[in-house]
Structure 1
């Protein structure tokens, strides 16, 4: 018997349609959407032509490769996010690639389970848990955290400057963008007893196992890391030594709507989500922002001193190239979406990146316009009841990271090579941000 969190959602079934959702038919040519592979190199490297085609030709499109219904228009994505009773979050953390028995055994030995806690929780317990998380990430606490972010950024950048000043090269992802949010999160949430590099490795393995398409051999490697992560989380939650004012201490004191204390498995599931979202995805955002800004002539120097420019560029990157590119929902009952009839239990993939490039909402979506009047209308952090509670911290960390790097490393320029990209179902970002000194 396995937890639903360990099972890939079953392939979508057929549905009666009010109009065709299979894409356009061009005489004498194959249906271009028939070539779509959301894990393939063409889509990962340049998803925008595919997203444009989906919005124009098949905005609610059944993808036979994943069994998911791809929802790409801003209007439809927003509707799904704002109607959690109609479109349930239950499948948000299911494994995309089915986990074979040997992998399930590794996870079972570690007691791994992801009961409804935050992103996958549509029950009444969600509101209280969300309030608990929000207390650690609300605007005042984020503002108070700015000196912490600046201090850690300064420490990391100080190590990079000597080789760059000598005309050498470095990778701003591995040495800066990836480490900064991990260390910040550890300080803000009172996480102890683990090295940042270990937490990063555990988090990355979790994302790849549940949102990637790894080989069976790779799944075994990842499962061992995820099992270690879960064992450490469980031991830490059960420990009586955590500070009462820490995040884990707050979870230990939390009471469910019926007055019962939060069980260990759910507390661990909440930590699993928060620790990954709070550092891996923020690191991906910082990496994308650094890469984008470094590639724009003259922009690196401007963000170092021009008030508001770093904030504006972070927001525009969130619209056009968010680190969380998609998210999942499942229909509670038979319904219509974007003119397409969907059965109960239909798994949806909300194309958050595609919605941010919807020309009906954002004119000239391919152009980077950091002062768009409606820029906050993007859905990079979701919307409604499940909107990301760490949105303010992610924005602030990315802004501080960009401005600090531009000031500390004024002479850098991007290396010419195209970096490898993280290409998971719901996460996309450069895995390297190579720069060289002048």
Structure 2
């Protein structure tokens, strides 16, 4: 992968003080867009040369393999996201790989349905539903959640510390990065009676089924998990036992624009989206932040105490390596985008990952500059009325996680196997699936 160097020595207005750019670009890739495979190992391992080629030579590019129009320039993506009247969110949660009849039957038996709720909702019900959600993720709630995040991080890292002391190494993705946001979300939303490992399994299965390219046998396995997830959500919403101040309690009391109660299916759809975004994608962000910080020997100790450094690094990771790499929209009528005529119904894939490396917005985008002044101009959380309502919580969890690791594991380093870890390579999600650390050997005291 084209791994950017990182330097945090000084604030800057552009790239002054940043580390040298690392990696090289494939010289002939611009002539090879016809071989682009969004699920292929070449793209998953190092998407940046492909994204650069798309942005410079074909910024609105039709991908015959998926039928999607790939939009890669920052200004075009921003335009699409800010115009929901023209570019609709209806396809945001559609399965990118067609689901065969056998898989649809599994989902149907579970009563699975995803009516317009949040990410896929362009109807008048969206603003009210969004208000319900944002009450649980606003700045005041996030600030109040910091002690909760710190407590859970400390508990998880105590177990990691014990494993390192016993075996010499530990894997931080499955033991820490994945589990932390799940447990935090459960506490914040008042979720009880379910094992975090089960929620993680259901959430990850949902991502793979709807945003992956699994074979039929794997689709059937995933559909069972997704169906169980949906059934649990439905039973929880219908039970009427949710506390009045809980997230589910807020949804069940919500009224639609016409005054009628929110239906169970839509409430479940909102829960489905929030649970996945609050667990899986935040865990993926934490894993990427940890891998990036641990790869820089001098950075981790400073991240533990330097004011604002952890937050600044999280922001640069969001710009360059966001966990949500793409998002979808559909053209509501014929239009022109980036000089290309699009028909009504054109399915767009917004390359959020590439937009953060657009040199017209971010000078020397390959360089990781935590004090880059315009870092927050990235589109990792979207923009406009569908901007991620949990953005503040995700940022905070990732920064707290980094500081906690820096303080609790000062004597570890990335294991050599992490030079090329397995990567999650779904249509809209990318992150290292393993962040293994090992104890730094100390010289014997004579």
TM-score, normalising length: structure 2: 0.91
| 1:363-416 C-alpha deviation (Å, 9 max, x unpaired) | 000000001111110000000000000000000000000000110000110011
Q: Which residue of 2 aligns with 1:215?
A: 215
Shift of 1:41: 0.2
Other structure's SS at 2:136 match:
helix
Equivalent residue in structure 2 for 1:431, among 430, 433, 438: 433
2:80 corresponds to 1:71: no
Distance in 2 between residues matched to 1:29 and 1:41, nearest whole Å? 15
Q: Which residue of 2 aligns with 1:92?
A: 92
Q: Which residue of 1 aligns with 2:386?
A: 386
Distance in 1 between residues matched to 2:32 and 2:362, nearest whole Å? 25
Distance in 1 between residues matched to 2:29 and 2:405, nearest whole Å? 49
Shift of 1:297: 2.2
Other structure's SS at 1:318 match:
helix
Is this contact kept in 2: 1:166–1:437, CA < 8 A? Answer: no
| 1:181-215 C-alpha deviation (Å, 9 max, x unpaired) | 00000000001121000000000000000000000
Shift of 1:242: 1.1
Distance in 1 between residues matched to 2:338 and 2:84, nearest whole Å? 17
2:237 corresponds to 1:237: yes
Q: Which residue of 1 aligns with 2:8?
A: none
Shift of 1:167: 6.6
Shift of 1:307: 1.0
Q: Which residue of 1 aligns with 2:422?
A: 420
Q: Which residue of 2 aligns with 1:60?
A: 60
Distance in 2 between residues matched to 1:126 and 1:99, nearest whole Å? 27
Is this contact kept in 1: 2:423–2:430, CA < 8 A? Answer: yes
Other structure's SS at 1:137 match:
coil
Distance in 2 between residues matched to 1:184 and 1:203, nearest whole Å? 15
Q: How does 1:14-413 map to 2 (within 5 A)?
A: 31-165=31-165, 168-413=168-413
| RMSD of Structure 2 on Structure 1 (CA) | 1.1
Q: Name structure 1 gaps, 5 residues minimum.
A: 1-27
Distance in 1 between residues matched to 2:214 and 2:162, nearest whole Å? 38
Other structure's SS at 2:416 match:
coil
Residue range with higher mean Cα deviation, 409-418 or 74-83? 409-418
Is this contact kept in 1: 2:29–2:53, CA < 8 A? Answer: no
Q: Name structure 2 gaps, 5 residues minimum.
A: 1-27, 441-446
Other structure's SS at 1:336 match:
strand
Other structure's SS at 1:382 match:
coil
Other structure's SS at 1:42 match:
helix
Moved segments of 4+, more than 2 Å:
28-31, 162-167
Distance in 1 between residues matched to 2:183 and 2:387, nearest whole Å? 24
Distance in 2 between residues matched to 1:326 and 1:50, nearest whole Å? 14
Gap change, CA 1:88 and 1:29, over 3 Å in 2:
closer
TM-score, normalising length: structure 1: 0.93
Is this contact kept in 2: 1:285–1:429, CA < 8 A? Answer: yes
Shift of 1:300: 1.1
Residue range with higher mean Cα deviation, 389-398 or 157-166? 157-166
Gap change, CA 1:198 and 1:167, over 3 Å in 2:
closer
Distance in 2 between residues matched to 1:265 and 1:76, nearest whole Å? 34
Distance in 2 between residues matched to 1:384 and 1:254, nearest whole Å? 23
| 1:230-280 C-alpha deviation (Å, 9 max, x unpaired) | 000000000121111100000000000000000000000000000000110
